[in-house]
Structures are given as structure tokens and as C-alpha cells.
Amino acid sequence: MIRKEEFSAALGEPDEGFDRALDAALRQIRAEEARPVMKKKLSVGLLVAVIAILTLTGAALAVGLNLFGIFGRWDGRLAELAPQAELETETPGEVETEKTGKSTVEIVNAWYDGEHLIVAYTDDNARTFEPFTPTAEELARMEKAEGFYEGVEPYELGEMDPVQQAFVEAKQAGKPYGFVEYSVFASDQMFAGEDGEIELLPSVGDETTLEDGRRAYLMEFETPLPEGVRDQEELTLRLPILRHEYRCWFDGKDTYLLSGPLDAEERTYEWIDGETHTGYASGPEPIGEAVATVKRTPTETRTYAGEGTYNGVPVHVEATVSAVRAEVRLAAQGAALADPCIVHEHPDGGAEIELRYDFTLTDETGASLRWDGRWVGGDRLSESAARLGFEGVGRLPERLSLCIIDKETDGVARIALTPEE
Amino acid sequence: MTSEEFARRVEALRPTLHRVCRAQLSAEADREDAIQEAVFRAWRRQNSLRDENCFNPWFIRILINACRDIQRQHRRVLPMEAPPEPPPRDDARLQRLRDALDALEERQRLCLLLHYIEGYSVKEVAAMLNLGESAVKLRLMRGRRKLKEMLSEEVLGE
């Protein structure tokens, strides 16, 4: 007899990665309680931003639309930067395809201070669906897929195109049906430089739907920015426009997919498992670009400092702060900040390392500067000095308060920071 | 509900949440994305929780949907499943059970997990999975029968 304890054990206990992911999400919610929508760290290969459907007033869509103002509804820093996020020049990308008609991708706002870059853009969310029945030759190019469009919730069905709905209903009824989706959309890759030769790496992003159905996106890029993008007086930004099509066919028993056009050449590619595969699937194809130039916004940097004690040991803290970024440096005498890592040793000899401390930095209004989660110390566990990075609040604070939380002991230390002369 | 109260309730569900993810997603990285997405979605949609006593099934339902979204994303990007990660080493009997569970259809696995392991009633499982109670009972019966065939022994005794 297999008992339920064994069943439970077979599905495993939460692993380190799962625990870390859950803890990080809950920390972010605690830190941002006042904000109704969370910004999500973009993971490599999965640039799927948190989707927030907003109902916007007609006034917001009038001429002079400022996307920083819209995203700033739940991120005060962006609201502060909105007046400085106007572009120098802007050329929308206008494309036309037989299936999706005319559509436009437009870089609407950007903010750049030589060190940081934030860009907001829109596309028309152009998608069209048609019924599709493959020939035997076409079916041979398609890949069998498990579980596709199964378990669709009723509310999801209501948001689908009628052709998609027909597919779901046919699949539930065990009847053959297929569709093809054609789409045109803004790439999630952006390039800089006169010829677009420098790829910018996104760090965090957000997106929303405007009242007129367009999609609006906000992208913030990794710092330090690449050589050739840092410390420029002006930047030219290039955003590719992509076209894609994919087909789905249910033959009454199995489901088949093909990503890309029907007449694509067979190609060999390396999958994430490191193995080489061959097939007819292909990705989106660039068909145009939106271009804009943004001028550098002069920004002021201020240094703050404070003293405190932690675990009974004096701690000196300095912070260099701009409107969008704060770097905090801690120096402790003795061993106050020793062992910044909790080491979880595995029976097989490996080890997982978790940061022992959590930090919050708030300004005089109580607004939180978001910690980027990184501790830049040395490579030894006994470091007593560290650098921490935070997002700014869109302006220079009058004063700051750093809170150090020890996750092992639940100990808390608060250190007040005031501007240095 | 404050963020502290929300976090406390989610943390109390931690092992259950992991099992729900594990029942639907084979890759560790996907499970990490799913739980984060579920936390953010649930926090944003708190006003859809009408009765705080129903927090657990409400949150699990959001997590199930987040897992399904990730499954769909994978299928849309490239029609190929990532290979399952090698399971941790443990005894052969547990491994055999894990293999059998992996061989079940996901809908059967979820029903078995939520009813027999997490202890939700058929009615609650039906609400979480948006199914009729008879559909849940059918999946429970078929799942048990399939496990029994694969393992050659009775399963899920109380």
C-alpha cells in the first residue's frame, strides 16, 4: 500500500530555488505595499512582463501622451521623471502586411542621464486569426504538442478571438480544427548607436494595454550601459518591428504546431538542453524599425552619510544618490557584518549560498528605494564592507534611512543618513 | 489584507505550493517563475477574494493558472518540451512512485494531489480547477486506477 506520505514525498519538498523565488516575491510585496502593480525582474529568455490591464481616461490619450506618467501611477519614480522624458526626435515605424494591415510601433518617451536609460514605447497589438487545415505535406512539417489549449478557463475563453474559441470548443468536442495566427509587434530587443550596432540589455520591464487597444511597454536597461552608450550627449535608439505567424492543428486526437511560415527551410538549431535538433520552426522576422533620439538629462548627485551600530559594533554608511539610482556603502568595524551569507550545504558536497541580510532604504516621505538584491562585497564570507544598489525615487531626497534586517536573528538596525556638505 | 498577513498566509502554504508547481512543471526555473507570478497576481487581485477563509484554494487556483501560462508560453515559443530535470537521489520505491506520477495526465495528477494529499474536498478541487464535481471524481478514479496499474499495488490508503 502506497500511503499519502509517500505520494507527497514523491513530489518533493520545496527546493532552495523555489524558496528563494517565493521569499523574493513576498519581500517585494512587503516593500511595495503602496503600489498596486509590481514590476518584475526580467529573466533571460522569458521577457514576459507582468501584465496590468488599465482603464485609462480619454485625456491620457490626447496629444502629448506621456507613458512615464501612465506607468508612474504605480511607480512614483517614473512620475517624477515624466516631465524630463520627452524625445528629441522620433520616427515611428509604420509597416503593412497582407494579413494584419497597417500598424505602427513608436518610441514615445525615454530618459537618459549618461548612466541610466529608461524607454517607453507602443505597438498596435496587431493580431489576426484564420481557420487553418493543413495538407498532408504541411502536417509533416508540424511538431506534435502535448496539452496545448487544454484547461482553458471560461474567463480566458471570453478574451480570445472567435477563431481561437472555435479551436478550444472543437478540441473539447474531439473534432478536428486548426488556426493560424498572424501578428506584428515591437521586439523586446533594442539597439543604440548610429547604425544600431550596440544591443541594450533589458533589466526590468512592465507593460499595459491602453484604452485604444495599443500595448504600451516600459523597459529599463542594465547598468553599467555598454561602452558607446555611456556618457553620450545624445542617443539614437532603434526598436525592430517583428512579424510572426504560427499554426495550430487538432486532428481529433493530437495537436500539432508550426512556428513560422509554412515554406520555411528545414534548419538545425541547438535547444536549451544543449542537444542539436532539426525542424521547420522559426522565429519572428524583422520588417521595420522605430527610431528615436533622446538627449542626456543633466542630473545632480548628492552624498549622504550616517553612523549607527549593529550587533553593538559601529557602522559607517555613505550613499551616493541621483534621481534614479542610489549606491550605499557600508563599513563596519570588527565583525558586525561578517558572514553575509548563509551556507546551505548539500549532502553531495555542493552548497547553496543565501544572503543573510535584507535592506530597505526610505526617504523623508517614507518612499522606498528598491534594493536590486545585490551585495557587492569581496569573495570572502568575512567581509565587513559592502556596496548595495537601489533604485532612486525620481528626485534627490532630503534625508534617508537605511534599515538592515538580519534574517537569521530577525535583528534590525536603523541608520539615519543626512546630506554631506 | 496587509502585505504581512498576505505573506504569512502564503508562507503557511509553502509545501503545498511547491507540490502544485511540481505536479505541473518539470523544470525548476519554471516553478520559480510560476510562484513569483502567482504571488504578484494574487496580491494585485486581492479584491477578487470575497471570503478570506477561502484564501488557500483561491491562491492555489491562481498558481495553477500561472503554471498553465508558462506551459503555453513554452509551447508557443518552440513546439518542444524541455527535458525533465533529473530527480534527486532517493530510494527506488520513491523513484518508482515519482515516475508513475509523472506518467499520469496532469489533470489526474493535480486532482489526486489536491484531494488526497492536500485534503481539499471534491467540491473545493472542482472550484479550483473549474470543473464539475463529477469530472473531479472521474479523474480521481482514473488516476488511482492508472497508478495502481503502474505500481501493481493499491495506492493512497488512508
Taking only the tens place, the pLDDT of each residue in A45-97 is: 333 222 222 223 333 333 468 999 988 877 778 888 999 999 999 999 999 99
Determine phi and psi for A119, rounding to 5 degrees: -130, 140
Give the tens place of pLDDT for each residue, A355-400.
Answer: 677 788 889 888 888 777 666 654 343 456 778 888 888 889 999 9
- Asked if the model's pLDDT at residue A160 lies above 60, the reply is yes
Q: Rounded CA gap, A34 and A40, in Å?
A: 16
The predicted structure's pLDDT at residue B25: 87
Q: Tell me which residues of chain A, numbers 63 to 122, contact chain B at a CB-CB cutoff of 8 Å.
A: none
Most confident option among A12-21, A284-293, B52-61: A284-293
The predicted structure's pLDDT at residue A385: 74
Give the tens place of pLDDT for each residue, B144-158.
Answer: 888 877 776 555 544
- Asked if the model's pLDDT at residue A37 lies above 90, the reply is no
A132 residue type, one letter: F
- Asked if the model's pLDDT at residue A338 lies above 60, the reply is no
Contact B55, B46 (CB under 8 A): no
Structure letter (DSSP) for residue B81: P
pLDDT band at A343 (very low <50, low <70, confident <90, very high): low
The predicted structure's pLDDT at residue B45: 72
Give ∠ CA A307-A313-A318 in degrees, rounded to 5: 30
Interchain CB distance below 8 Å, B83 and A142: no
The predicted structure's pLDDT at residue A345: 59
Q: Rounded to 10 degrees, what is the CA torsion of A362, A326, A188, A157?
A: -10
The predicted structure's pLDDT at residue B99: 79
Number of H helices, E strands in chain B: 8, 1
The predicted structure's pLDDT at residue A121: 96
Determine phi and psi for A218, rounding to 5 degrees: -125, 130
Residue A139 forms contact with B (CB below 8 Å): no
Size of interface A-B (CB pairs under 8 A): 158
Interchain CB distance below 8 Å, A277 and B80: yes
- Asked if the model's pLDDT at residue A240 lies above 60, the reply is yes
Spell out a b/e string for A330-359, using b for 16 or more CB atoms within 10 Å of the CB, else e.
bebeeebbeebbeeeeeeeeeeeeeebbbb
Contact A192, A198 (CB under 8 A): yes
Handedness of CA B1, B2, B8, B14 (dihedral sign): positive
Cell numbers describing residue A258: 508550426
pTM for the predicted model, two decimal places: 0.58
Q: Tell me which residues of chain A, numbers 163 to 222, contact chain B at a CB-CB cutoff of 8 Å.
A: none
A164 residue type, one letter: Q
Contact A154, A169 (CB under 8 A): no
Interchain CB distance below 8 Å, B80 and A38: no
Tell me what the mean pLDDT of segment A95-107 comes to.
95
How many other CB atoms sit within 10 Å of the CB of residue B86?
Answer: 6
Q: Rounded CA gap, B20 and B114, in Å?
A: 8
Q: Which residues of A touch B87 (CB under 8 A)?
A: 12
Please give the mean pLDDT across all residues of chain A: 80
Give the tens place of pLDDT for each residue, B22-61.
Answer: 888 888 888 888 898 889 888 877 766 767 777 888 889 8
Span of A128-132, A371-375, B78-82 with lowest mean pLDDT: B78-82
- Asked if the model's pLDDT at residue B11 lies above 80, the reply is yes
Give the tens place of pLDDT for each residue, A289-304.
Answer: 999 999 999 888 899 9
